C-alpha cells in the first residue's frame, strides 16, 4: 500500500515518451517482477542484524537498508542473537522491515543476564536488565553496491529509541535515565573490485553499555560522539569474514566501560537465512574485567 | 524536544535525497564497453575470448531458465546478444576485441527493467561464472565494471 502510493508520487519518468509507430518486440512486452514483497537484493548486501536490531554488522549499524527488498520492494527479516562472556550473557531478538530500499524500521529486545554478579551486587542471581529498542533508518544518498564507479558511499541516518525496564537499579548505580535516544550517521561502501566492504558509523549517545546500564551518569550526562567501524572481506558470494570496532562513552563512576571489538564470520547459505559467529571483546562490564566470548546470531529473511 | 527536531530533519533530508536520486535520469549514453587494460590478467582467468564465449552459452541458458529474466530473452535474438555480450566483456577486461553493439541506454530503454531484474541477471551471471570455475575475485572485477550500468539499464521505477 505504502509502496503503491510512494511509487505513484515519485512517478516513472519517461515511459510513454515514444510516440513513433513501433511494434513492441517480445522483450519489450516482457514485464518485470512487480511483486511488492520481494527479495531481489544480492546476497549478503543487506548486512545482518546488529545487536540493536538495525541492519549492519554485529555491533554496529550500516547504511544499508535491511531486508532483501529492492527500490520497488518491501523486505523484512528477524534475528536472534546470543552473546556469552565469562560473567554474563546477553540475548537479543528482533525484526526489521525495509521499505523501497529507503526506510528501515526495526524493533528489538535485549535481555542482559548478570548471572552470579547479580548475587554479588545484592540484586539476586540471574538479575536481568531488559531493554526495548525501536529503530528508524533513512537512506539519504548513494548505493553501497551498484555505484562501483563512484567514490560516494551509501549514506544513511538513523535513530534508536531505547527503554530499559530497571529504572530503580539504574538510578542507584548513578545513571540519569532509564531511556534515551541514540542518533547515528553511517557510510557504507562495497569495494567490489577488491571484494571488501567498509562501514563507518558516527553515533551520538548517552547510553551506558548501549543502554543496558541506562543513560547518562555521574561522570558525564551529555551526548558524546562515538566512532564505530566494520571491515569485511568477501570470500565468496555467501561467506564473509571481518572485524568491528565500537567506541563507547564512559559515563558511570562506579562501572568503567570499554570500547568493543569483534572478529566475525558471516555465512548466508541463501537469502532466507544467515548465520554470524564472532569472537567479541566487551572489555570491562561493571565489576568484571575482560569480558570476551562468543557471539552467535541467526537471521531469517522473508 | 531537541531529539525530535533532529529526527525530523533527518527524515526531511531523506525525502530530499530520494528526490535527488530519482531526478538524475537523462544523461548521455556512457561508453558501453569501457576497456581497462589493467584487467588483462582477469581476462586470462576468464579463459580469454573462447572462455567468455563458452560462458555466454551457460549464461543465456540460465537467463532463459530464470522466471525473472525469461520473458526478456526467450524470443530475443539470443545468438546476437551472446555475441555482443562476449565482445563487451572481452573489451572491458582489456582483451583484443571490438564492441560492435549498441549503447546500454539505447538497447534497454524500452524494456522496463527494474532493479530486481538487473540483480537477477547479475545472479545468473554469477552462477554461470561459478560453473566455469572463474575465481570469485575475478568475477567481482568484472561485476564492478558492469554494476554502474544499472543507471542506464534500470528504467523502472
Ligand atoms: C550489466 C547488465 C547488462 C549488460 C552489460 C547488458 C548488455 C547487453 C548487450 C551488450 C546487449 C546487445 C546490444 C546490441 O544488440 O547491440 C543487450 C541486449 C539485451 N539486453 Fe541487456 N545487459 C544488461 C542487463 C540486462 C537486463 C537486466 C535485462 C533484462 C532483465 C536485459 C535484457 C536485454 C535484452 C532483452 C536485450 C535484447 C534487446 C533487443 O533484442 O533489442 N539486459 N544487453
- Reported ipTM: 0.87
Q: Quick check: A24 pLDDT over 90? A: no
The residue with cell 540475548 is A91
Interface contact A102-B120, CB threshold 8 A: no
Q: How does DSSP classify residue B106?
A: H
B8 touches chain A (CB under 8 A): no
B12 touches chain A (CB under 8 A): no
What nine digits make up the cell of A298? 541467526
Cis peptide before B157 (omega within 30 of 0): yes
Q: Quick check: B80 pLDDT over 60? A: yes
Which has the higher per-residue pLDDT, A16 or A72? A72
Give residue A213 CA to ligand 1 midpoint distance, Å. Answer: 56
Rounded to the nearest 5 degrees, what angle is found at the Cα of A198, between the Cα atoms of A295 and B5? 90
Interface contact B114-A192, CB threshold 8 A: no
Q: Which residues pair with A138 in a beta bridge?
A: A103, A157
The verdict on the CB of residue B46 being under 6 Å from ligand 1 is no
Q: Is A230:A144 a contact under the CB 8 Å cutoff?
A: no
The CATH number that domain A37-301 falls under is: 2.40.160.40
Q: Quick check: A70 pLDDT over 80? A: yes
Give the model confidence (pLDDT) of A169-206 as tens digits: 999 999 999 999 999 999 999 999 999 999 999 999 99
Q: Is B68:B120 a contact under the CB 8 Å cutoff?
A: yes
Ligand 1 atom, smallest distance to B120 CA: 27
Q: Quick check: A23 pLDDT over 90? A: no
Report domain extents, chain A: 37-301
Interface contact B22-A193, CB threshold 8 A: no
Residue of A32, A155, A181 lying closest to B116 (CB–CB): A32
Crossing angle of the two packed helices B115-131 and B48-65, in degrees rounded to 10: 130
The residue with cell 561502501 is A189
CB-defined contacts A:B, below 8 A = 142
Predicted local distance difference test score (pLDDT) of residue A22: 76
- Tell which A residues from 239 to 268 touch B, by Cβ distance under 8 Å: none
A32 touches chain B (CB under 8 A): yes
- Tell which B residues from 51 to 80 touch A, by Cβ distance under 8 Å: 67-68, 71-76
Which of A245-261 are b and which e, b meaning 16 or more Cβ less than 10 Å from the residue's Cβ?
bbbbbbbbeebebbbbb
Predicted local distance difference test score (pLDDT) of residue A20: 56
* Residue in A13, A146, A149 to test binding to B, most B beta-carbons within 10 Å: A146
Hey, is A149 helix, strand or coil? coil
- pTM listed for this prediction: 0.88
Average pLDDT over residues B101-117: 95
Task: Give percent of chain B with pLDDT exceeding 70.
Answer: 82
B36 touches chain A (CB under 8 A): no
- Tell which B residues from 88 to 127 touch A, by Cβ distance under 8 Å: 110-117, 119-120, 122-123, 126
Closest CA to B145 of A189, A234, A192: A192
The CB density around residue B24, as the number of other CB atoms within 10 Å, is 8
Give the model confidence (pLDDT) of B2-40 as tens digits: 444 544 454 444 444 443 444 344 455 789 999 999 999
Give residue A208 CA to ligand 1 midpoint distance, Å. Answer: 53
Length of chain B equals 157
Predicted local distance difference test score (pLDDT) of residue A31: 83
d(CA B146, CA B157): 20
Residue nearest to atom 5 of ligand 1 (CA): B146
Predicted local distance difference test score (pLDDT) of residue A56: 97
Residue A9: burial class (beta carbons within 10 Å; 0-12, 13-18, 19+): exposed
Residue of B14, B25, B116 lying closest to A139 (CB–CB): B14
Give the model confidence (pLDDT) of A114-136 as tens digits: 999 999 999 999 999 999 999 99
Predicted local distance difference test score (pLDDT) of residue A16: 46
The CB density around residue A21, as the number of other CB atoms within 10 Å, is 5
The verdict on the CB of residue B117 being under 6 Å from ligand 1 is yes
Residue A209 CB contacts under 8 Å (≥ 6 apart), including other chains: A248, A255, A257, A285
Which has the higher per-residue pLDDT, A135 or A286? A135
Amino acid at each position: 500500500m505504502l509502496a503503491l502510493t510512494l511509487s505513484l508520487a515519485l512517478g516513472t519518468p519517461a515511459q510513454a515518451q515514444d510516440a513513433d509507430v513501433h511494434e513492441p518486440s517480445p522483450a519489450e512486452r516482457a514485464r518485470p517482477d512487480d511483486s511488492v514483497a520481494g527479495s531481489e537484493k544480492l546476497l549478503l548486501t543487506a548486512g545482518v542484524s546488529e545487536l540493536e536490531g538495525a541492519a549492519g554488522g554485529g555491533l554496529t549499524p550500516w547504511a544499508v537498508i535491511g531486508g532483501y527488498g529492492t527500490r520497488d520492494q518491501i523486505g523484512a527479516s528477524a534475528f536472534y542473537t546470543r552473546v556469552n562472556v565469562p560473567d554474563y550473557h546477553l540475548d537479543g531478538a528482533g525484526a526489521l522491515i525495509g521499505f523501497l530500499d529507503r526506510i528501515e524500521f526495526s524493533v528489538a529486545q535485549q535481555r542482559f543476564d548478570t548471572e552470579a554478579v547479580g548475587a554479588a551486587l545484592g540484586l539476586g542471581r540471574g538479575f536481568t536488565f531488559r531493554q526495548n529498542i525501536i529503530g528508524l533508518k533513512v537512506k539519504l544518498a548513494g548505493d553501497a553496491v551498484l555505484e562501483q564507479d563512484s567514490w560516494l558511499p551509501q549514506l544513511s541516518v538513523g535513530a534508536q529509541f531505547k527503554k530499559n525496564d530497571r529504572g530503580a537499579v539504574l538510578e542507584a548505580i548513578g545513571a540519569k535515565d532509564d531511556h534515551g535516544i541514540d542518533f547515528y550517521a553511517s557510510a557504507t561502501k562495497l569495494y567490489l573490485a577488491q571484494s571488501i566492504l567498509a562501514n563507518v558509523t558516527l553515533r551520538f549517545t548517552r547510553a551506558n553499555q548501549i543502554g543496558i546500564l541506562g543513560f547518562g551518569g555521574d561522570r558525564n550526562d551529555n551526548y558524546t560522539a562515538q566512532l564505530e567501524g566494520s571491515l569485511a572481506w568477501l570470500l565468496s558470494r555467501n561467506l564473509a569474514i571481518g572485524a568491528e570496532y565500537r567506541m563507547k562513552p564512559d559515563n558511570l563512576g562506579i562501572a568503567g566501560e570499554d570500547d568493543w571489538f569483534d572478529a566475525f564470520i558471516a555465512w548466508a547459505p541463501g537469502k532466507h537465512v544467515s548465520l554470524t559467529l564472532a569472537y567479541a571483546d566487551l572489555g570491562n562490564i561493571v565489576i568484571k574485567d575482560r569480558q570476551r566470548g562468543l557471539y552467535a546470531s541467526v537471521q531469517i529473511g522473508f | 524536544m531537541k531529539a525530535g527536531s533532529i529526527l525530523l530533519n533527518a527524515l526531511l533530508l531523506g525525502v530530499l535525497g530520494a528526490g535527488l536520486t530519482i531526478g538524475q535520469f537523462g544523461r548521455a549514453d556512457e561508453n558501453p564497453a569501457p576497456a581497462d587494460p589493467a584487467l588483462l590478467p582477469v581476462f586470462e582467468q576468464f579463459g580469454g575470448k573462447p572462455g567468455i564465449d563458452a560462458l555466454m552459452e551457460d549464461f543465456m541458458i540460465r537467463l532463459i531458465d530464470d522466471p525473472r529474466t525469461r520473458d526478456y530473452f526467450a524470443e530475443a535474438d539470443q545468438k546476437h546478444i551472446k555475441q555482443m555480450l562476449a565482445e563487451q566483456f572481452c573489451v572491458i577486461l582489456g582483451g583484443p576485441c571490438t564492441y560492435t553493439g549498441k549503447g546500454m541506454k539505447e538497447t534497454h530503454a524500452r524494456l522496463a527493467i527494474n532493479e530486481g531484474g538487473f540483480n537477477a541477471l547479475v545472479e545468473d551471471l554469477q552462477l554461470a561464472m561459478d560453473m566455469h570455475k572463474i575465481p570469485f575475485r575475478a568475477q567481482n572485477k568484472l561485476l564492478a565494471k558492469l554494476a554502474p550500468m544499472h543507471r542506464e539499464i534500470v528504467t523502472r521505477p
